[in-house]
Amino acid sequence: MALDPRTPVLVGVGQVTTPPEATMVPVDRPQPLDLMVRAIQAAAEDCDGAGPGSIAPSGRALLERAQRLAVIASFGWHTSNPGALIAERLSIDPAELILTTTGGNTPLQLLHASARKIAAGELDVAIVTGAEAMYTRALARRSVEHGTLTWASQAADSTPQAVSFGSPDRPGVTDLEAARGVRLPIQAYPLLENAIRGARGWTLEEHRKAIGDLWALGSQVAATNPYAWIKEPMTGEQIMTPTPTNRMVSYPYTKYTVANLSVDQGAAYILCSVEAARAAGVSEDRFVFPLAGADGNDHWFMSHRENLHSSPAIRLAGEATFAGAEVLADELAFVDLYSCFPAVVQIAIQELGLGSRPERPWTTTGGLVFAGGPGNNYVTHSIASMVDKLRSQPGASGLVTGLGWFSTKHSVGIFGSRPPRHQGANGYHWTDVQQAVDASPQTRVDSNYVGTCTVETSTVTFDRSGEPEHGIVVARTDDHARVWGQVTHADHLKALLDIDPNGRTGSLAADGTFTFA
């Protein structure tokens, strides 16, 4: 098949990981800017497949031709236009410098947007990168005797602001949810997790084993990933058993089930038109094609979702992506599901019809715990990993998902080592599923309710010493309104942990305190 010159194609990917080294003090470890530059250089080297070393002419040509340089927002490094600093280091001059908003979906969402522009003839070469050095930041706080970190920065008025990309920043929770103790992912995702247990009818022990087995599979994959942060495989029992180094975070989650932000990692990809790739001299055996993608947000606040164990946005985005790529779920050779917490992997497997197949693990990297969870940039790593996998299996296809906030923002993409079945304007398929998601049922919330209610889901958060600290309860009234409660009394916290509270009745007081009947 003759390739349409406007077909978008991934031609270079790069990943860098700087693991802990006892002899390297924090001020000598690379900062996020260094990691991003190195990742882009690695992506340029990857364009000819020759391995690390000097950038090949094809990679250099694409860097110099890049019109778009996009940076995934960093949790640990804040400056007004990081792309300008990167461009200066690389001696390139892209016309458009982008800085994304918050969201683990943004690397994939940005790929979708860039691929559409390439297919439309509005863009030729785009570079996307991101990095975190949260391990170094934490190490520096613990070892101030080694000096203060002096990472690159820009005065707000010394450089133009980068173009913003992504959903506008807005709170992830309602005032009521926050008042009951939901402010961070470690308080929100366990509520989804325990709702899954209720929907599937698992006992507490069955649920614990299911999570452990799921995460052990990720650990095994990470052990084969040269860029992974934790490379020692773990069993499900090790993952789920609290220890001094694996403390309880929020029931049922231990530290080894929660995204690992304390990493020093960077990644990048180069997306361009077939025309630009050929002009640069990139061999077609390096090509990996975005076949289709979709984006959409679930009802923004958890309070309004019909239930907390499913995702209409993932289901609808998946259906659109499979249809656009003309690929069936069972035909996928590789899968990488966003994995900040086990809940979202279980939901994605269900909504995308992937089933449980150990011979096709749910991740190509090992996930955000074992491979590493570099803030918003994990999906850049999963895209890079997917490209490597697809090059090794001609004709294969693979699926990647991204997620932001509290299972709120979703992106789904399918890639192939073969070109789209259709060329030209119909070659790359992207779908916005937002209108369909918005039309799905919503739940009424009663923020002033006092009286009897039935537990829908709950969790208990723990302090750093491993002691139960705070309970959060989501319940339903007799007329199916959703209500939120909190538990602070030690005896009631114990009850939330010792006996499955799902489906049990209790009473909600005016101050939000929940007590069992």
Q: At what angle do helices 342-352 and 312-325 cross, to 10 degrees?
A: 50
How large is the average pLDDT for residues 481-503?
92
Q: What is the number of alpha carbons within 13 Å of residue 463 lying toward its C-beta?
A: 5
Q: What is the pLDDT of residues 255-266, one digit of tens each?
A: 999 999 999 999
Quote the pLDDT of residue 33: 98
How large is the average pLDDT for residues 4-26?
93
* Nearest Cα residue to 372 out of 154, 159, 104, 115: 104
- Do the Cβ atoms of 80 and 162 come closer than 8 Å? yes
How large is the average pLDDT for residues 349-368?
91
Q: Taking the domain 8-170+261-438, which CATH number applies?
A: 3.40.47.10
| Angle, alpha carbons 422-119-317 (nearest 5°) | 70
Position 157 confidence tier, pLDDT thresholds 50, 70, 90: confident
Q: Helices marked H in 23-170 — which ranges? A: 32-46, 57-65, 82-90, 106-119, 134-142
How large is the average pLDDT for residues 116-143?
95
Quote the pLDDT of residue 105: 98
Quote the pLDDT of residue 116: 96
Position 81 confidence tier, pLDDT thresholds 50, 70, 90: very high
How large is the average pLDDT for residues 264-274?
98
Give the domain ranges of the chain: 8-170+261-438, 451-516
pLDDT at 172 over 90: yes
In DSSP notation, 69-86 reads: EEEPPPSS---S-HHHHH
Quote the pLDDT of residue 114: 97
pLDDT at 188 over 80: yes
Quote the pLDDT of residue 23: 81
Position 423 confidence tier, pLDDT thresholds 50, 70, 90: low
pLDDT at 1 over 70: no
pTM across the whole model: 0.96
Quote the pLDDT of residue 368: 98
Q: What distance in Å separates the CA atoms of residue 384 and residue 42, rounded to the nearest whole number? A: 11
User: Of 502 and 495, which is predicted with more confidence?
Assistant: 502
pLDDT at 425 over 60: no
**Helix H or strand E segment including 266:** strand 264-273
How large is the average pLDDT for residues 290-319?
98
Position 424 confidence tier, pLDDT thresholds 50, 70, 90: low
* Nearest Cα residue to 250 out of 454, 515, 425, 496: 496
Least trusted range by pLDDT, from 147-156, 429-438, 504-513: 147-156
How large is the average pLDDT for residues 55-77?
95
Quote the pLDDT of residue 161: 79
**Which residue shows structure tokens 């050779």?**
333
* Nearest Cα residue to 239 out of 225, 222, 257: 257
How large is the average pLDDT for residues 290-316?
98
How large is the average pLDDT for residues 25-42?
96
Give percent above pLDDT 90 in the chain.
Answer: 87
How large is the average pLDDT for residues 341-366?
92
Q: Hey, what's the torsion of the CAs at 94, 100, 106, 109, to 10 degrees?
A: -50
- Do the Cβ atoms of 327 and 396 come closer than 8 Å? no
Q: What distance in Å separates the CA atoms of residue 393 and residue 18, rounded to the nearest whole number? A: 29
Quote the pLDDT of residue 4: 92
Quote the pLDDT of residue 160: 74
In DSSP notation, 189-244 reads: HHHHHHHHHHHHT--HHHHHHHHHHHHHHHHHHHTT-TT-S--S---HHHHHS-BT
Longest dimension (CA), the chain: 72
Q: What is the pLDDT of residues 189-224, one digit of tens each?
A: 999 999 999 999 999 999 999 999 999 999 999 999
Least trusted range by pLDDT, from 85-94, 155-164, 286-295, 505-514: 155-164
**Which residue shows structure tokens 């923020």?**
447
Quote the pLDDT of residue 199: 97
Pick the CATH number of 451-516 from 2.60.40.1760, 2.40.110.10, 2.40.50.100, 2.40.50.840: 2.40.50.840
Position 2 confidence tier, pLDDT thresholds 50, 70, 90: confident
Quote the pLDDT of residue 170: 87
**Helix H or strand E segment including 437:** helix 434-438
Quote the pLDDT of residue 24: 86
Sheet holding 397-404, edge to edge: 334-336, 397-404, 409-416, 289-297, 429-432
How large is the average pLDDT for residues 433-438?
98
Position 100 confidence tier, pLDDT thresholds 50, 70, 90: very high
How large is the average pLDDT for residues 21-27?
87
Q: What distance in Å separates the CA atoms of residue 384 and residue 387, rounded to the nearest whole number? A: 5
Mean pLDDT of the chain: 94
Least trusted range by pLDDT, from 54-63, 201-210, 388-397, 404-413: 54-63
Quote the pLDDT of residue 356: 64
